[in-house]
Structure 1
Amino acid sequence: MRTPRSARTARPARSVQVLAGVLLAASLALAGCSGANDSGDTKSAGGRSAPQAGAAEANAQDAKSAPRAPRLTPSAIIRTASLTVEVKDVPKALETARTTAESAGGYVGKESTSRDTEGHEQTRVVLRVPTEKYDEVLADLQGSGKLVERTAKAEDVTDRVVDVDSRIKSQRASVARIRELMDKATKLSDVVTLEGELSSREADLEALLAQQASLKDRTSLATITLALSETPVKKAAEDDTPGFVDAVSGGWHVFVTMLRWIALALGAVLPFAALAALLTLLWLRVVRPRLPRHAQPAPATPAAAPLPQSRPAPDASGTPDQH
């Protein structure tokens, strides 16, 4: 059976359509691969794809809008300590303490030396050392001899440091504003008023700066007071019962103390006694001889007694004469 001519003509047409479809599909596939390569090149060139770039941008916006975490202020602590150490050789121990403080980056702030009644040397020294070396220096110092007493103190002044820093910042801004107003002032009265205000605010700023410097010095350097002694600070009483020698020693001590008080009393009275004696001598030798002397009244003479009257002589008859 033969195939009609129209059917044979239709077959080549279908083959052409199929071939065209295959070619179209291949071209689309090539175009897709090229687009993929282009997008990959774009990602490799830019570092990220468009969606990722959009996400990164969104994250950046969120990071900008999110509140920042507050910056923590390091703690400001003032450290002080006091040590009492008994050593065999005070000068040698003192030199070791100086070397320890200077090796740690500190210095000797104050030093005083004295001797007791028995001639033993005693030294008191103030050391300033960095706070990060505080514990190390303290351990070295208390290990230089027999530790008798130790006290340590730590004071947190972080709030004061933050407050002073904030007030300094505000005060500086205030001073700057006053200076700007002075530059713009045209009247003499305004200039005088602003100068007075500027002086007041600058004085307050200097006081705050002094507080800031003091706090910085006290928090950056710890203070250690070291007392070195050759004699025991505390002696254990072996026998508290006094003996004959103790009684004699105590009596002699009381006697010497009494004589000392008597001598002190005489010494206190002596200037007044000398002054009184001098005034008495002046009175007797100078003033009294020059005083006017009053005449003493003569003693009264007794009145003369009346003379006795003569009696008339009796006459011959024995009768007195009346004439």
Structure 2
Amino acid sequence: MAVFEAGPSIDATYQLAKGLGGYLVRRDQHTITIRVPVAKYHDVLERVAKLGDVLNREETVEDVTEQFLDMQTRLRNARAMRDRLEQLLTQAKNVKEALAVEKELGRITTDIERMEGRLKRLRELIAFSTITVQFKARPSDHVDSTVRLPFPWLDRMGLSNLLSL
């Protein structure tokens, strides 16, 4: 997006996202990445487009529905396995059996925590859209009025004064 100054445009984009329930992901001198609620996506795009001249627009969609459903199923199965292992632990006949069950219980608990984290991340992906905007400085309308004459003797004759009028 072409703008006169990137800084104020980046600030305006951040404030827009924040005001609509979004948040900042990344920001540098010329680029900002924000996440906004899915329902506000098109509204944010329209408002950001008013900050300057859109030079290029690209949209990509990643459908995570299948991943989400798969993770829910895997998590449900892992929790059922944990419950069975806890039941087996109460029925252990000796220390060796108890240690083996506890080792497996620890592993499955770690897997469950990992799956819960992944499920949380997938929920966030479903609820928020990511927008990255790169701002490029628009050439200024100001023309440098300093003219350098190719020959120093022209300057001594006062020609540079005539050119600056």
1:221 paired to 2:143: no
Letter in 2 for 1:204: D
- The SS at the match of 1:224 is strand
Q: Which residue of 2 aligns with 1:145?
A: 52
Q: Which residue of 2 aligns with 1:256?
A: none
Q: CA deviation at 1:131?
A: 0.7
Q: Which residue of 2 aligns with 1:79?
A: none
1:89 paired to 2:5: yes
Gaps of 5+ in 2: 140-149, 151-165
Distance of 1:159 and 1:89 partners within structure 2: 42
Q: Which residue of 2 aligns with 1:179?
A: 86
Q: CA deviation at 1:227?
A: 0.9
Q: Which residue of 1 aligns with 2:16?
A: 100
Letter in 2 for 1:191: A
Structure showing greater Rg: 1
Identity of aligned residues (%): 25
Letter in 2 for 1:98: Y
Larger RCO (CA within 8 A; separation ≥ 6): 2
Per the normalisation by structure 1, the TM-score is 0.42
- The SS at the match of 1:153 is coil
| Worse-matched range after superposition: 163-172 or 91-100 | 91-100
Q: Which residue of 2 aligns with 1:125?
A: 32
Q: Which residue of 2 aligns with 1:203?
A: 110
Distance of 1:92 and 1:211 partners within structure 2: 36
Aligned length: 140
- 1:33-182 equivalence runs, <5 A: 85-113=1-29, 123-182=30-89
Distance of 2:36 and 2:88 partners within structure 1: 46
1:212 paired to 2:119: yes
- 1:23-38 equivalence runs, <5 A: none
Q: CA deviation at 1:150?
A: 0.9
Letter in 1 for 2:97: D
- The SS at the match of 1:145 is coil
Distance of 2:118 and 2:126 partners within structure 1: 12
Distance of 2:50 and 2:33 partners within structure 1: 17
Q: CA deviation at 1:180?
A: 1.2
Per the normalisation by structure 2, the TM-score is 0.79
| 1:290-322 deviation line (CA, Å, top 9, x unaligned) | xxxxxxxxxxxxxxxxxxxxxxxxxxxxxxxxx
1:189 corresponds to which of 54, 75, 96? 96
Q: CA deviation at 1:221?
A: 1.2
Distance of 2:50 and 2:79 partners within structure 1: 49
Does the Cα contact within 8 Å between 2:10 and 2:31 map onto a contact in 1? no
Q: CA deviation at 1:169?
A: 0.9
Q: Which residue of 2 aligns with 1:3?
A: none
Distance of 1:95 and 1:205 partners within structure 2: 40
- 1:251-270 equivalence runs, <5 A: none
Q: CA deviation at 1:136?
A: 0.8
- The SS at the match of 2:93 is coil
Letter in 2 for 1:222: S
